[in-house]
A and B are shown apart, each in its own frame.
Chain A
């Protein structure tokens, strides 16, 4: 703002004017470099993304091949192969399973989160903007779902409709959608009172235009932070479902499933359980750190 603008200018009425919203998505990404926490989080996430993409190149063995059971970490097999993280009770290489398991979680966690967001944002916009009976209906419905223990909800849905990738996404959407709706509704209530929304109404814009083009872009900051946190929760959820045997059917490599299948050997062969646990924790930590960093950046501006 140091460019001379010519005539018709007045003094700047304040050194800094509080922006109505935080910075946009792009600005946040540019600003990330100022937050070491966010960079660390992003690095962890990118590490796992790279692992997932390059899985066939990185994994020393096939994730489903049974080679030699119960090998401890850093041991050599009969054929001289090195099992970096050991093998499980069926003789499958733990490292390879973790590497391929990253694919599962990095496909389903974002897909389920995105699906929860589509539902939650639409419902939140409607409830916050339209208010009245629509708001009552959607809010009470979300209360109902939120009052239900999420785990029970997952079990009911997946027991009823069977464990499949689609059902996992449906279950997560149903459990997280209402929480997203709550956040969006709150943000919409704040934004809808601003004059630019009234200006849009006065020129006769349609409600959906106002919701999607005038209001939604002004809520991206807080939603971005929430999305990162939620990705972390969903990662845990997918792990939990796998642990409960409600995840992807075996033998597909799945971190939660790996913990479940090997938990009875945890005392004797802890490596079978500990490494998948670490994988889940590190990814969740990555998402949380990124969310923290993004939140900080939002606050600072």
Chain B
């Protein structure tokens, strides 16, 4: 599927969609705020265009304008959108209705919100055919069934009769795609369609969209902040910054040789799968997107650009200038040709190996089971027992002082449960956790000594929930400083607070701010400052960057590594992002449905032999690298419920390398590989697993 060709000149001549100098602004209490300014785009029939940019850069607004579906307080301030040659602003309501669904369809990020919870899937999908194709309900239902088969849903009859809540997130998104396609649209808009899905499920949906595009030959606009997905899905890409297109061109050109400093910056924020933190460093884009009200004159990106030159970049309005006209590659930068000649400075100094020899944390045969009350009348009358949810089963691993351990897995794999047990928020069912020589497995947090609590702190995933909205940043950090006796007097606490803010690269003035005035990245920095306030020996980071923008992710990742290096802290990173794990971790534990599938050093886990699940996870990573070769493994089906896990090997229901009945009947034994600490839990002998080779390899440029 990588052989997507650029549109031919003939196709370009008859554009499906033409956006011409479009400007959109939102009317707010603070006056009109421009969200999109002077965007021009052309999309031919059957062509796919990726729209990239960080949050707030206007890409969703642009998509909604194409659907003529802008919010009430948004208005087109200039320019027009022409679909099949007609200005959609002038369409009468009836034609507009026919265009939406019949001509253009859109798939949003949240499939749960796109489906009506009180309607069966079959009815919802058939509705589209009844309205747009004017067929009878029976015929429409038949079409719906056929389309559900097309989007790769098994057991179509059951799904037609199911309510949305009975489907998993991946199945819901497939159903939404089926609904969008039923009107046979000429143009499909996808707004972050896989953002909330698990990686292996995402890989399946992406594969599906690529296949459907080929099959139906529709035009595609794919909006994403994930450069890897864009590289995979699209022929052309437009990079947006602050409401403008700053670079546009063929995917290969832009990923190989980005011309705009912003595009190049975004690409530098993504960890490479070929190197870890000791070999190269991520380079976050400095600064912050300017608020629409105080956008600088000239280039909007200039304040954050390393190449900005006063007198050149900060004056007048910049035009999109062609880089290679024949490839339709253009860039909104005055200095692109000079910048292209500049050699990239070598990345920041490689980090030192800080890990010591001492075993700090030793987990042995740890089990955590939950008793789930059955619902229903029988359970109410006490006639049926409780079910056991085995969230963690026989976890065993060790962490040395100063190391970074990553626990990897998709939702329901029990990685967050382990964090709760470790922190003392839940008690283990069996097994042991020895931390700094103390047994913690069944020691709840309120019975731990202040010293034990101080030594072990946590950074949570969601920056919006991690800080109490009622208190200022300083008050929240200060509380921890006092609580753990790091500082007592007002002066001491204030000094320590500003030291921590400096450590997390935040201005001291932030101490008096409340969380609602902070950006997501700033909130996460405060959360890190708070976690380090007690001077812990170990910090657990539960998906620390997964809800942040690409460039912020890079900055927070770098911050964690830097602090770890300067303080010698042990880090336990919980994540589903293998790119991040490859970059940060020294050791990796791969979990699936509560059990460890594979563990070892990062180098071991990321090179063959792989456990089949690890192999699938690796293959699911969308690489933002046009030169990498990639073996594609798309897993069947969905992650089973942890309440009724498959017998034998938990992975056998989705495994692409299942060898037979033994996988369904027997739990596989742990294979210790000869060299090092690499362990794989699989029936297939390691020698045979090794023969498959690496999942991805980079072609030297």
Are the C-beta atoms of B505 and A218 separated by less than 8 Å? no
What chain A residues lie within 8 Å of B456 (beta carbons)?
Answer: 202
Q: How far is the CB of A203 from chain B (nearest CB, A)?
A: 5
Is the pair A14, B480 in contact by a Cβ cutoff of 8 Å?
no
Q: A203-B480, A203-B484 are in contact. Are A10 and B469 (CB under 8 A)?
A: no
Task: Say if the beta carbon of B100 comes within 8 Å of chain A.
Answer: no
Q: Which of A243-258 contact B (CB under 8 A)?
A: none
Closest-CB distance, B437 to chain A (whole angstroms): 20
Kindly specify which of B514-522, B620-628, B650-658, B668-676 makes contact with the partner chain.
B514-522
Bound complex: CA A10 to CA B288 (Å): 4
Contact A2 B293 (CB under 8 A): yes
Closest to B504 in A: A8
Residues of A within 8 A of B549 (CB): 10-11, 13
Asked if A30 CB lies within 8 Å of chain B CBs, one says no
A9 touches B530 (CB 8 A): no
Query: Which residues of chain A from 1 to 30 have a CB within 8 Å of any chain B CB?
Result: 1-3, 5-15, 17-21, 24
Interface size class of A (residues with CB under 8 A): 20 to 34
Report B308 CB to chain A, min CB distance, Å: 16
**Given A5-B509, A199-B530, A203-B483: A10 touches B457 (CB 8 Å cut-off):** no
Q: Which of B178-186, B396-404, B458-466, B630-638 has 4 or more CB atoms under 8 Å from chain A?
A: B458-466
Which A residues are CB-close (under 8 A) to B450? 204
A15 to B59, CA, bound (A): 13
Q: Residue A8 contacts which of B56, B505, B530 (CB distance < 8 angstroms)? A: B505
- Contacts of B548-563 to chain A: CB distance below 8 A: 548-549, 551-552, 555
Find out whether the CB atom of B291 lies under 8 angstroms from the CB atom of A12.
yes
Cβ-defined partner of A11 (8 Å) among B470, B504, B530, B552: B552
Given the known inter-chain contacts A11-B552, A199-B530, A202-B445, please indicate yes or no for A20 contacting B453, CB distance below 8 A: no
Bound together, the chains give a CA A38 to CA B446 distance in angstroms of 45
With contacts A198-B460, A202-B424 known, is A13 near B466, CB below 8 A? Answer: no
Is there contact, CB below 8 Å, between B470 and A218?
yes
Contact partner, A203, options B55, B287, B457, B527, Cβ 8 Å: B457
Contacts of A203 in B (CB 8 A): 453-454, 457, 480, 483-484, 534
Are A10 and B530 closer than 8 Å at their CB atoms? no
The A/B interface has a contact count, at CB < 8 Å, of: 133
Pair A202/B288 contact, Cβ less than 8 Å: no
Which of B54, B519, B521: most chain A Cβ within 10 A? B519
Q: Is A196's CB under 8 angstroms from B521's CB?
A: no
Contacts A11-B549, A13-B520, A204-B483; A199 near B458 (Cβ below 8 A):
yes
- Verify if B294 is at the interface (C-beta below 8 Å from A): yes
Report chain B residues within 8 Å CB of A217.
Answer: 468, 470
Select one of A2, A3, A13, A18 contacting B55, CB under 8 A: A13
Distance (whole angstroms) from the CB of A158 to the closest CB of chain B: 39
A residues within 8 A CB of B525? 8
Contact of B56 among A13, A201, A204 (CB under 8 A): A13
| A182 nearest CB across to chain B (Å) | 22
Tell me if A214 is interfacial: C-beta within 8 Å of chain B. yes
Contact of A10 among B462, B464, B509, B522 (CB under 8 A): B522
Among residues of B, the one whose C-beta sits closest to the C-beta of A17 is B464
Contact indicator B519/A196 (Cβ below 8 Å) = no
30 pairs, A vs B, C-beta closer than 8 Å: A2-B294, A3-B509, A5-B509, A10-B522, A11-B54, A11-B521, A12-B289, A12-B519, A13-B55, A13-B521, A13-B552, A15-B56, A17-B516, A17-B520, A19-B469, A20-B464, A196-B466, A196-B467, A198-B458, A199-B460, A199-B527, A201-B425, A201-B446, A202-B424, A202-B425, A203-B483, A203-B484, A204-B445, A204-B483, A218-B470
Known A-B contacts: A6-B507, A198-B458. Give 13 more (CB < 8 A): A1-B291, A1-B517, A7-B286, A9-B288, A12-B291, A13-B519, A14-B55, A14-B56, A194-B465, A198-B460, A199-B530, A203-B453, A203-B457
Q: What are the nearest 6 A-B pairs in CB distance?
A: A8-B505, A10-B521, A11-B289, A195-B460, A13-B520, A217-B470
